[in-house]
C-alpha cells in the first residue's frame, strides 16, 4: 500500500523477479479477465461499460481466481488491492478457505514532495504504454519512446495540482484499511521516499526477519 507515486509498482516488479513469485496488479488482472471473457470478467465489463465502479465482490472474485493459479504456490505480491476494508474482508475469507492468507502488508510512507516529483515527471508512451520519467528514466530522445517511437505525454492526473488532491483523497480513503491491518498486527511501514535500490535493501531485511508462511 502507498499513495500514488510511492513506487509500489516498481518495487513489486523488483520483488517479483528476486523472489520468483507473481506480481498481481489489480489493473492488469481486471483487464486480462475482461479480455479473456471469463464469467467474472464479463460481469466486470458490464459495470465498466456503464461507467460504474466494479463491485467489491466481483473485483475480489477475479483476484481470488488469479491466486488459485499454480504459480502462486510459493507466494504472491498484491499491488493496488485491496482498496477498501470490505475488499480486505472478502479477500481474507477467500484465502482462509484456501488455507492461505496475507503474511505482511507493506505501507510505503511517502512525502508529498517526493510523490509530486515522481508523478509530475512521469511521461507515458501513447503507442505502447511504457512509463518514463524526465529525470530518472529519460527517453533517449525527448518526447519519443525508445521502444516504439510513439509520442510521450503527461497523464492529466499526473499534473502537480491534481497530484496533491490525489494524495489527500488516498490518505482519507485508506485510513480505515491501515487501521484494519494494524489491528491484525501485520502492517509494516517503510519509507517510499527511498530510491529503488535503497528501498529494496530495506524490504529484503524486513522479509529476512519476518515470520512468513
Ligand atoms: Zn512506446
Q: How far is the CA of 185 from the centre of ligand 1 (A)?
A: 42
The pLDDT tens digits of the residues spanning 114-135 come to 999 999 999 999 998 888 999 9
Active-site position among 45, 83, 86, 188: 83
Query: Would residue 31 show up in a list of annotated catalytic residues for this protein?
Result: no
Q: How far is the CA of 86 from the centre of ligand 1 (A)?
A: 37
Query: Would residue 8 show up in a list of annotated catalytic residues for this protein?
Result: yes
Active-site position among 20, 147, 155, 184: 155
Which residue reads 488482472 in cell numbers?
29
Q: Are 125 and 132 in contact (CB under 8 A)?
A: yes
DSSP secondary structure, 49-78, as one string: HTTPPPPHHHHHHHHHHHHTSGGGTT--EE
Backbone angles phi, psi at 68, to 5 degrees: -85, -10
Q: Are 90 and 63 in contact (CB under 8 A)?
A: no
Query: Would residue 123 show up in a list of annotated catalytic residues for this protein?
Result: no
Backbone angles phi, psi at 38, to 5 degrees: -70, 165
What does pTM read for this prediction?
0.83
Q: How far is the CA of 88 from the centre of ligand 1 (A)?
A: 35
Q: How far is the CA of 70 from the centre of ligand 1 (A)?
A: 32
Query: Would residue 213 show up in a list of annotated catalytic residues for this protein?
Result: no
Q: Digits of tens for pLDDT over the chain (213 positions)?
A: 999 889 998 899 999 999 999 999 888 888 889 899 999 999 999 988 888 888 888 999 999 888 988 899 899 999 989 989 999 999 999 999 999 999 999 999 999 999 999 999 999 999 988 889 999 889 999 999 999 999 999 988 888 888 888 898 899 989 999 999 999 999 999 999 999 999 999 999 998 887 777
Query: Would residue 17 show up in a list of annotated catalytic residues for this protein?
Result: no
Cell of 1: 500500500
Sign of CA dihedral 85, 91, 94, 97: negative
Residue 175's contacts (CB-CB under 8 Å, 6 or more residues apart) are none
The pLDDT tens digits of the residues spanning 17-48 come to 999 999 998 888 888 898 999 999 999 999 88
Amino acid at each position: 500500500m502507498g499513495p500514488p507515486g510511492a513506487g509500489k509498482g516498481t518495487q513489486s516488479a523488483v520483488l517479483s523477479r528476486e523472489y520468483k513469485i507473481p506480481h498481481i496488479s489489480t489493473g492488469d488482472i481486471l483487464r486480462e479477465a475482461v479480455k479473456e471473457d471469463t464469467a467474472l470478467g464479463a460481469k466486470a465489463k458490464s459495470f465498466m461499460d456503464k461507467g460504474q465502479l466494479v463491485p467489491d465482490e466481483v473485483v475480489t472474485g477475479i483476484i481470488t481466481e488469479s491466486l488459485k493459479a499454480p504459480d502462486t504456490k510459493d507466494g504472491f505480491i498484491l499491488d493496488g488491492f485491496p482498496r477498501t476494508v470490505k475488499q480486505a474482508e472478502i479477500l481474507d475469507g477467500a484465502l482462509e478457505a484456501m488455507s492461505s492468507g496475507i503474511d505482511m502488508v507493506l505501507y510505503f510512507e511517502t512525502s508529498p514532495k517526493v510523490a509530486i516529483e515522481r508523478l509530475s515527471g512521469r511521461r507515458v508512451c501513447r503507442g505502447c504504454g511504457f512509463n518514463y520519467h524526465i529525470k530518472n528514466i529519460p527517453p533517449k530522445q525527448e518526447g519519443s519512446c525508445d521502444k516504439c517511437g510513439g509520442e510521450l505525454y503527461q497523464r492529466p492526473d499526473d499534473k502537480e495540482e491534481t497530484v496533491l488532491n490525489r494524495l489527500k483523497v488516498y490518505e482519507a480513503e485508506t485510513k480505515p484499511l491501515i487501521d484494519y491491518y494494524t489491528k491484525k498486527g501485520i502492517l509494516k511501514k517503510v519509507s517510499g521516499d527511498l530510491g529503488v535500490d535503497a528501498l529494496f535493501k530495506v524490504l529484503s531485511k524486513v522479509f529476512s526477519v519476518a515470520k512468513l508462511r
